[in-house]
A and B are shown apart, each in its own frame.
Chain A
């Protein structure tokens, strides 16, 4: 088990290294010039741009710069833009030339909002999706089952941004059923304001994702309920609730863990539409803003961070597997 986790962490680190190379290549060879961000648009002459590049060290060979970047991640790095010094402690993912901040700090500031969205949304879509899926599986073939499958396909077919936008426009702007959304720290402002500010985004994420989990849950539950061991559980005289929720669900949950791990990592890496539409200052929104302003350090840091989350999620999923299924030896 420990050996397996160490192996997985090493291979995960290699994946991240490859990602960092790709990200850096984007930085270095990509169409956007980081120096432009610092060059005032109206008075930007080629000479001035060249000076800025030299000042930022962008004119050095690519390997030197990559080494610098890596060094920053490991031990930190101090940047100087013009006359302003920006300290950047390890792990330093760079400095935004435009905002003149340490990118790591910038992302960490925005991460709690994204985590709040992801956790709240996940709780809703997992409970709702699995409950609906199990309900449909136990009534497979009936009109209730067909209705659920049909409805989930319809909801799933609506583009997510449209669903979120409509929810915002009607439920907040027009009818004011829900309060205006905003992220406040649950630690500083208390739980209730936190829930109030995020309730509608949670519901939108929850309902949209739950349709997928309802269909997955239904499918794997139908399969599990047809297993011989579920018949054995019934033959032992266990109450039906226990047969379904213990013996059936334990087997059905395995494939769901896989997609949940990846979905959750994806949500943590930034729920772009949700954050944009409900104006919540999270990772996704900052990435969108950074793309708009060609703020490459923030974009590349977000990509690297997302890769880190996906790699971690995969390792966690495998560990959870071994906890669910004793046959899986890590």
Chain B
């Protein structure tokens, strides 16, 4: 997280927030729906999810456990067993449609153009094979090279991700490495084939805070060098603030808010995003202040709520006339922050509620700043 400022202040009024989706996207996810039939019924893990990502940009996907973050990303890797899952919609990587791709073709994409880093580097590395073997194995799966060349590449990659004495550490086993080094080795393994898209599924959750910062720095540095697109899945808004260009907030398998990172963090338009922001501790403010948790539990994906998936836990549903929140699913539409920032909420003026009710609770010192900035950048004028 940045040195001294709360990420809510990271808004720089002089720079216009970029569009969430524009230009030539490298990754296009459209109406992605993932279902898992089980004995208890169908798990509606992801429903009608859409987003895009350009080369060199970072998308942060945030949400609680079970919100569909990982499931949707695993779908991009084609890691769902087609016999145990039902998928529809479209995932395009470059010019290739991923959904319905044969296993042979999918293998070439996995670990090639698209690579993935997992949450827990200890369980994600095979305990019985050396780090070097695991990296060169991934390299040789995509490049027709000799074992010795692949090993040289593994050493080069370990060196690249900052493992000291890579040449002697290459034959070590994962249990010889510390947590941070394991995650570096995971990253080396993922980047060995110069992927154009890197999916990092909670890459720092299992690491301690100082190592977290190092790993995030490393990812940014590598992104700069390789010009990869990155999807970073997390429930840590600090990570999002540091890394992401765009943010997708997921709830109950759906995208509920999506837009440029700064805009979402400073002008969230959806009560669930407010809840996420309210449950982040502010280390620069009053440290004795209570965090405000989101009441209730994540929704059942077997039997999701009618209407807005968040309505059973939403403190603001009374502000919507009629029983709309319960009866009708809000569409993902632009609010008053311009077309690049979309939200799924029936509230007429969420901005107003955020500035008058939510922000004073979570960061009273920022109200003036953001209100003032709001006057400068008039809402709805294309920003």
Contacts and interface: CB of A to CB of B under 8 A. Distances in A.
Contacts of B115: 235
A231 B79 contact: yes
A228 interface: yes
11 contacts: A229-B123, A232-B118, A232-B124, A232-B126, A236-B110, A236-B138, A237-B107, A250-B129, A325-B128, A327-B173, A327-B175
B240 interface: no
Interface in A219-265: 227-229, 231-240, 247, 250-251
Contacts of A234: 79, 110
A231 B79 CA distance: 8
Contacts of A236: 110-111, 137-138, 141, 189
Interface of A: 227-229, 231-240, 247, 250-251, 324-327
Given A227-B123, A229-B127, A238-B107, A326 B173 contact: yes
Given A250-B128, A326-B128, A237 B123 contact: no
A219 to B, nearest CB: 19
A67 B377 CA distance: 102
Given A231-B79, A326-B175, A247 B189 contact: no
A238 B124 contact: no
Contacts, number: 71
A234 B124 CA distance: 11
B109 A237 contact: yes
Nearest 4 interchain pairs by C-beta: A237-B111, A236-B138, A237-B110, A236-B111
Contacts of A238: 107, 111, 137-138, 141
Contact of B120 (A228, A239, A240, A325): A228
B124 A239 contact: no
A235 B141 contact: no
B112 interface: yes
B103 interface: yes
A228 B141 contact: no
B77 interface: yes
Interface in B110-168: 110-112, 115-116, 118, 120, 123-130, 134, 137-138, 141-142
A247 B141 CA distance: 14
B316 interface: no
Report, as a range, how many residues of chain B touch the other chain: 20 to 34
Contacts of A326: 127-128, 130, 173, 175
B346 to A, nearest CB: 39
Contact of B103 (A227, A231, A240): A240
A59 B18 CA distance: 103
A237 B125 contact: no
B107 A228 contact: no
B108 interface: yes
A231 B128 contact: no
Given A234-B79, A234-B110, A235-B111, A251 B128 contact: yes
B118 A237 contact: no
B111 A325 contact: no
Contacts of A235: 77, 79, 110-111, 115-116, 118
B110 A229 contact: no
A327 B124 CA distance: 16
A254 to B, nearest CB: 9
Contacts of B120: 228
Interface string B36-77: 000000000000000000000000000000000000000001
A324 B120 CA distance: 23
A247 B124 CA distance: 12
Given A235-B79, A235-B111, A239-B107, A228 B118 contact: yes
A229 B138 contact: no
- Most chain-B CB neighbours within 10 Å: which of A228, A237, A238, A324? A237
A214 to B, nearest CB: 21
